[in-house]
Amino acid sequence: MPEQERKVPRSMAGMLRAALIWVGMLSLVLSALGSAFLFHRAYAAQFDRDLARTAAAVAAGYQNADAPQPADLARFDTGLRLTLIAADGRVLYDSLTDDPASLPNHSDRAEVRAALESGSGQSVRKSETAGMETHYYALRLADGTVLRLADETSDVWGSYNHALPILLVGCLLIALLAAVMAGLIARRLVRPITRMAEHLDTIEADVPYEELIPLAHTVQSDRKLREDNETIRREFTANVSHELKTPLTSISGYAELIENGMARPEDIPGFGARIHKEARRMIALVSDILQLSELDGMSKDTSRDSTADFVTLDLESLVRDVASGMTMNARKAYVTLQYHASPAPVRGSRDLLNELATNLCDNAIRYNRPGGHVDLNCGIGPDGCPYLCVEDNGIGIPQDAQSRVFERFYRVDKSRSKATGGTGLGLAIVKHIAVLHNARIDLKSTVGTGTSVRVIFPKV
């Protein structure tokens, strides 16, 4: 399968610049359109008021004359179209024609109907071809006729035609200014983020924006986790090397004596027994390391559910099996092993839980005294949670060491551990298995009195 092409990340500064420029241009266009609309409305309203005042003045002058006639309206030179309309809609006078009778009946005109009904009326009609608007104002006279004034004005776009070049130049200058300002603002916003990458050690102490606090915390936590993992890896490698070097050196030394014929015949069985013992120790160590590696993989593998293979099982039967299997080890150490099992259903892996209980029992036996005892029991606690508990009356664990006993290769008594064949990984395996089962470990110990390790499982 061909590898997917890596997506090229976009520039944050470029996106900010583009966003700011678009916002600026959109604001400019909306402001221009809004201003044009408001200006035109105000202009049209003022135009209509002026038209109404002029009509009132002409009507007053016309009606104050003695025996006014339609032709008398010719003396009112207002520069506007002046029309006199009879009550039935016939045109009696029109300043644009000498033959008003040739004009169509105006009874259907909105401003004329309104004037006949309420005394005055106005309307606006737009010419789509000429791009002009004609404003009409009609006033009913005392004799029942209607005096109408009309004037043309450019529409909202036509009003701006003469100012269009200036507007375009202004828009261009504003766009250039917006681009410059957007670049400066984007650079100012992005620069602190760039500085964060240069000071990762103190990233949480110098966060420029509140929204970046979670990111800074995640980066800092990730760096600390990586450093801790690297420290653990180095320590683990050093410990493994040390643990393997000792038995390998011993095996190599005894084998060399036998190979070169330097060993007496009566010493060869003893040398063989020591080689066998060191080999068993290496096998146990490698086995524990492989198991820890497998448990690490299960806990870190996010591609599958590590609990998918878990089943519901009873700790009661598991405790019986473990106690039966560990009896011989206890006898060799002159330790009494007892168990008390009650039904305790849990969800988990029987093999892993068997390993957990075996390691706890093995530790309790290993760090005990001849004549001591180990109690293995399980049941349901007062909180309703199932538990597995291993108690002994052995040497105990000092208070300052109790928080570290579950670390890999950590030994409270190194000489005793090596003498008894311990690898230093048993309790680390116990901790990993408990974590996989969402269980918690409760450790209580007193030096010279004994130790109690209780593993508490979630309710099924």
pLDDT for the residue numbered 456: 94
pTM: 0.49
Confidence class for position 158, pLDDT limits 50, 70, 90: low
DSSP string, 170-207: HHHHHHHHHHHHHHHHHHHHHHHHHHHHH-GGGGGG--
pLDDT for the residue numbered 159: 54
What is the Cα 189 distance to its own chain's centre? 21
User: Architecture of domain 207-304 in CATH?
Assistant: Orthogonal Bundle (1.10)
CATH topology of domain 12-160: Beta-Lactamase (3.30.450)
Confidence class for position 41, pLDDT limits 50, 70, 90: confident
Contacts of 426 (CB under 8 A, 6+ apart): 288, 359, 362, 363
pLDDT over threshold 90, residue 441: yes
pLDDT for the residue numbered 61: 86
- Locus of tokens 């102490």: 205
Q: Are 388 and 455 in contact (CB under 8 A)?
A: yes
Contacts of 134 (CB under 8 A, 6+ apart): 124, 125, 126, 127, 150, 151, 152
pLDDT in tens, 371-427: 999 999 999 999 999 999 999 999 998 988 888 888 877 776 655 555 555 667 878
pLDDT over threshold 70, residue 6: no
**Higher pLDDT residue, 293 or 366?**
366
Which stretch, 90-104, 225-239, 248-262, has highest mean pLDDT?
Answer: 90-104
The mean pLDDT of 276-299, rounded to a whole number, is 74
pLDDT for the residue numbered 249: 81
pLDDT in tens, 71-105: 888 888 777 889 999 999 999 999 888 888 889 99
CATH class of 308-460: alpha beta
The mean pLDDT of 326-333, rounded to a whole number, is 92
CA distance 328 to 460: 33
Q: Are 355 and 411 in contact (CB under 8 A)?
A: no
pLDDT for the residue numbered 1: 43
Q: Among residues 437, 272, 262, 425, which one has the least CA distance to residue 347?
A: 437
pLDDT for the residue numbered 265: 82
Q: Where are the domains of the chain?
A: 12-160, 207-304, 308-460
Q: What percentage of the chain reaches a pLDDT higher than 70?
A: 85
pLDDT for the residue numbered 25: 76
Cβ atoms within 10 Å, residue 245: 10
Confidence class for position 161, pLDDT limits 50, 70, 90: low
**Higher pLDDT residue, 50 or 15?**
50
pLDDT for the residue numbered 156: 46
Cβ atoms within 10 Å, residue 450: 23
Radius of gyration of the chain (CA): 50
Q: Assign 386 to helix, strand or coil.
A: strand
For 240-297, the three-class secondary structure string (H helix, E strand, C coil) is HHHHHHHHHHHHHHHHHHHHCCCCCHHHHHHHHHHHHHHHHHHHHHHHHHHHHHHHHH
**Higher pLDDT residue, 96 or 306?**
96
